[in-house]
Chains A and B, each alone.
Chain A
Amino acid sequence: MANNRRSMYLRMVSGSLIRRASRLITAVLAIAIGATILSGLVTIYYDIPEQLGREFRSYGANLIILPRGDSKITRETLAKLENLIGTNKLVGMAPYRYQTVKINEQPYIIAGTDLAQAEKNSPFWYIEGSWGNSDEPERVMTGHEIAQTLNLKLGDSFTIQGVKFGEQAQASRQDLSAQENQKRDSARQNFHRKLSVKGIVSTGGAEEGFIFCDIDMLDELIGSSFRADVIECSVIADANELANLSSRIEQELPELQPRAVRRLTQSQDIVLGKLQALVLLVTVVVLIITMISVYTTMTAMVAERRREIALKKALGAENKLVMGELLDEGILLGIIGGTLGVFLGFEFALQVSLNVFGRAINFQIALIPITIAVFIAITVTASIIPVRKVMEIHPAIVLKGE
Chain B
Amino acid sequence: MKILELKNVSKIYGELKALADINLSVNAGDWLSIMGPSGSGKTTMINIIGCMDTPSTGSVILDGVDISKENASSLTRIRRDKIGLIFQQFHLISYLTAVENVMVAQYYHSMPDESEAMEALEKVGLKDRARHLPAQLSGGEQQRVCIARALINSPKILLGDEPTGNLDEENEGIVVDLFRRLHSEGVTIIIVTHDPEVGDVAQRKIILEHGKIIDDIDQRATFGEALKLRA
The answer for the CA separation of A395 and B91 in the assembled complex, in Å, is 11
Considering residues A11, A18, A316, A318, which has the most beta carbons from chain B within 10 angstroms of its beta carbon? A316
Tell which of A7, A12, A19, A394 touches B104, judged by Cβ atoms closer than 8 Å. Answer: A12
**In the bound complex, what is the Cα–Cα distance between A399 and B85 (angstroms)?**
11
**Interface centre among B53, B87, B112, by most A CB within 10 Å?**
B112
Contacting pair B112 A315 (CB below 8 A): no
A396 close to B (CB within 8 Å): yes
A-B contact count (CB 8 A): 81
A399 to B91 alpha-carbon distance, docked (Å): 8
Partner of B108, one of A19, A308, A310, A316: A316
Are the C-beta atoms of A20 and B95 separated by less than 8 Å? yes
Give residues of chain B (37-61) contacting chain A, Cβ–Cβ below 8 Å.
43, 47, 50, 52-53
Q: Is A270 an interface residue (CB 8 A)?
A: no
Asked if A169 CB lies within 8 Å of chain B CBs, one says no
Shortest B74–chain A CB gap in Å is 11
Q: Is the CB of B94 within 8 A of A396?
A: no
**For residues 75 through 102 of chain B, which have their beta carbon under 8 Å from a beta carbon of chain A?**
76-77, 79-81, 85, 87, 89, 91, 93-96, 100
Q: Give the distance in Å from the alpha carbon of A400 to the alpha carbon of B44 in the complex.
A: 11
From B73, B107, B111, give the contact of A1 (CB < 8 A): B111
B91 touches A8 (CB 8 A): no
Decide if B52 touches A395 in the complex (CB within 8 Å): yes
In the complex, the answer to whether B107 meets A396 with C-beta atoms within 8 Å is no
Partner of A314, one of B73, B81, B85, B94: B85
Considering only CB atoms and an 8 Å cut-off, how many residues of chain A contact the other chain?
Answer: 32
Contacting pair A396 B53 (CB below 8 A): yes
Most buried by A among B73, B104, B107, B149: B107
Q: List A contacts of B133 (CB < 8 A).
A: 19
Of all chain B residues, the one with the shortest Cβ separation from A400 is B43
Q: List A residues 164-216 near B (Cβ within 8 Å).
A: none
A5-B107, A396-B52 given; A15·B100 CB < 8 A: yes
Question: Which B-chain residue is minimally distant from A398 (CB atoms)?
Answer: B91
Bound-complex Cα distance A259 to B79 (A) = 82
State A399–B81 Cα separation when bound (angstroms). 19
Contact of B79 among A1, A9, A314 (CB under 8 A): A314
* Contact of A316 with B94 in the complex, beta carbons under 8 Å: no
Which residues of the other chain, B, contact A20 by a CB distance below 8 angstroms? Answer: 94-95
Whether a CB of chain A sits under 8 angstroms from the CB of B113 is: yes
A396 to B100 CA separation, bound complex (whole angstroms):
23
Instruction: Say whether B95 contacts A19, CB under 8 Å.
Output: yes
Given A1-B111, A396-B47, do A12 and B76 touch, yes or no (CB 8 Å)? no
A355 within 8 A of B: no
Chain A residues, CB < 8 A from B149: 315
Q: How far is the CA of A41 from the CA of B96 in the complex (A)?
A: 40
| B103 adjacent to chain A (CB < 8 Å) | yes
Known contacts: A316-B79, A318-B73. The answer to whether A307 contacts B91 by CB under 8 A is yes
In whole Å, how far is A238's beta carbon from the nearest beta carbon of chain B? 55
Interface residues of A in 1-36 (CB under 8 A from B): 1, 4-5, 7-9, 11-12, 15-16, 18-20
**Distance A128 CA – B54 CA, assembled complex (angstroms):** 95
Cross-chain contact B95 with A9 (CB below 8 angstroms): no
Tell whether A313 pairs with B76 under 8 Å between CB atoms, given A8-B103, A15-B100: yes
A18: which B residues are within 8 A, CB to CB?
Answer: 95
- Are B52 and A316 in touch, CB under 8 angstroms? no
A interface majority secondary structure? helix
Residue B161 interfacial (CB < 8 Å): yes
Q: Chain B residues near A90 (CB, 8 Å)?
A: none
Min CB distance A288 to B, Å, is 32
Q: State whether the Cβ of A354 lies closer than 8 Å to any Cβ in chain B.
A: no
Are A11 and B96 in contact, with the CB atoms below 8 A?
A: yes
The distance from the CB of B165 to the nearest CB of chain A, in whole angstroms, is 9
In contact, B105 and A4 (Cβ under 8 angstroms): no
A312 x B108 contact (CB < 8 A): yes
**A residues less than 8 Å from B161 (CB atoms):** 400
How far apart are the CA atoms of A312 and B93 in the complex, in Å? 9
The reply to whether the CB of B109 lies closer than 8 angstroms to some CB of chain A is: yes
- Give Cα A12 to B96, complex, Å: 7
Nearest A residue (CB) for B166: A402
Asked if A321 lies at the interface with its beta carbon under 8 angstroms from chain B, I say: yes
Q: What separation, in Å, do the CA atoms of A19 and B97 have in the docked complex? A: 10
Structural contact, B85 and A315, CB atoms closer than 8 A: yes
Q: Which residues of A contact B96 (CB under 8 A)?
A: 11-12, 15, 19
Contacts of B81 in A (CB 8 A): 316
Residue A317 interfacial (CB < 8 Å): yes
B125 to chain A, nearest CB (A): 22
- Contact between A5 and B100, CB atoms less than 8 A apart: no
Distance to closest chain A CB from B218 (angstroms) = 29
| Contact call B47/A5, Cβ cutoff below 8 A | no
Partner of A399, one of B73, B87, B95, B103: B87
Asked if A311 is an interface residue, CB under 8 A from chain B, the answer is yes
Instruction: Give the docked Cα–Cα distance between A318 and B108 (Å).
Output: 8
By Cβ-Cβ distance, the 9 closest A-B pairs, closest first, are A316-B80, A19-B95, A396-B52, A8-B112, A396-B47, A317-B108, A316-B108, A15-B95, A311-B91
Q: What would 11 more interface pairs be, CB under 8 Å, given A9-B107, A396-B50, A401-B89?
A: A4-B111, A5-B111, A12-B107, A18-B95, A308-B93, A312-B108, A314-B79, A315-B109, A317-B108, A396-B52, A399-B89
Q: List 26 A-B contacts (CB under 8 A).
A: A8-B104, A8-B107, A11-B103, A12-B93, A12-B107, A15-B96, A18-B95, A20-B95, A307-B91, A308-B93, A308-B94, A310-B91, A314-B50, A314-B85, A315-B109, A316-B76, A316-B105, A316-B108, A321-B108, A394-B52, A399-B89, A399-B91, A400-B43, A400-B161, A401-B89, A402-B89
